[in-house]
């Protein structure tokens, strides 16, 4: 299965600033996704990162707050914009689309906003 | 301010015993399911998957059972070990190819 590298692994940011998280996959994948995992909770899908076009956002998430890029089949970025303490969470990148291999996750970015 | 998160359901088992973790899924049209294990500070790790045309699938020390009638999945871990302590999530694949996660269960193995 694909191996995902995600960085930074953690960061502490000031409110009002923005952070860009990078996700690199070691092989070309059909689909890439971004999830948020708040403390002690399950994973919530933020959006599907589409190669060469605008990301598809889930209910409750908007492009102005979470702009996403996907310039090719192996790389994507998620930006958390104008951060507030409520954005403190773990952000996870996932890649998949081939059912035989399942869907793989990066190790996540632990974000703390102060 | 400090936020208070929901507490995950917890299953505590003795080392060597079998564990059964349950999950209810929401969409009767979902046709592919995955169980993940998440250890502290790490991303979810694939354990086993099952398609909707099956009701049982076995891996190494793990078995997944699917009951489509009641939209229920279970993960059975045989001879549970301390290294199995983690949070376990089920996930269903919807028609749009998106993986939707269940609530999760924290498994604690007592030596």
Question: Do the chains contact at A43 and B101, CB–CB below 8 Å?
Answer: yes
A75 burial via Cβ count (<10 Å: 0-12, 13-18, 19+): middle
Other C-beta atoms closer than 10 Å to the C-beta of B4 total 8
- Strands in A4-7's sheet, in edge-to-edge order, are A4-7, A19-25, A75-80, A68-72
How far does A89 lie from chain B, in Å, by closest CA?
Answer: 11
Tens of each residue's pLDDT in chain B, 111 residues: 333 345 679 999 999 999 999 999 989 889 899 999 999 999 999 999 999 999 999 999 999 999 999 999 999 999 999 999 999 999 998 878 889 999 899 999 998
Give the pLDDT band (50/70/90) at residue A98: low
DSSP class per residue in B29-91: T--EEEEEEE-TTS--EEEEEEETT-SEEE-SSEEEEEETTTTEEEEEESS--GGG-EEEEEE
Identify the CA nearest to A76 among candidates A106, A99, A97.
A106
Contact yes or no for A107 and B101 at CB 8 A: no
Q: How far apart are CA A16 and CA A35, in angstroms?
A: 21
A-proximal residues of B, 21-60, CB under 8 Å: 32, 34, 36, 41-46, 49, 51
């Amino acid at each position: 299965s694909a191996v995902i590298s995600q960085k930074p692994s953690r960061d502490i940011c000031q409110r009002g600033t923005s952070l860009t998280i990078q996700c690199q996959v070691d092989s070309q994948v059909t689909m890439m996704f971004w999830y948020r995992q708040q403390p002690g909770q399950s994973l919530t899908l933020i959006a599907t990162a589409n190669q060469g076009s605008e990301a598809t956002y889930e209910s409750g998430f908007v492009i102005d707050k979470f702009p996403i890029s996907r310039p090719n089949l192996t790389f994507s970025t998620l930006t958390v914009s104008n951060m507030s303490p409520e954005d403190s969470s773990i952000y996870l990148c996932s890649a998949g689309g081939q059912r035989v291999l399942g869907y793989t996750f990066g190790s996540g970015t632990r974000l703390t906003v102060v | 301010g400090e936020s208070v998160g929901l507490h995950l359901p917890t299953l505590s088992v003795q080392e060597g015993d079998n564990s059964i973790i349950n999950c209810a899924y929401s969409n009767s049209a979902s046709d592919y399911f995955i169980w993940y294990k998440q250890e502290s500070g790490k991303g979810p790790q694939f354990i086993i998957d099952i398609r909707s045309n099956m009701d049982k699938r076995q891996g190494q020390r793990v078995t997944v059972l699917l009951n489509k009638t009641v939209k229920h999945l279970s993960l059975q871990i045989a001879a549970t070990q301390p290294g199995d302590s983690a949070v376990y999530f089920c996930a269903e694949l919807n028609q749009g190819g998106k993986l939707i996660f269940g609530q999760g269960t924290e498994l604690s193995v007592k030596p």
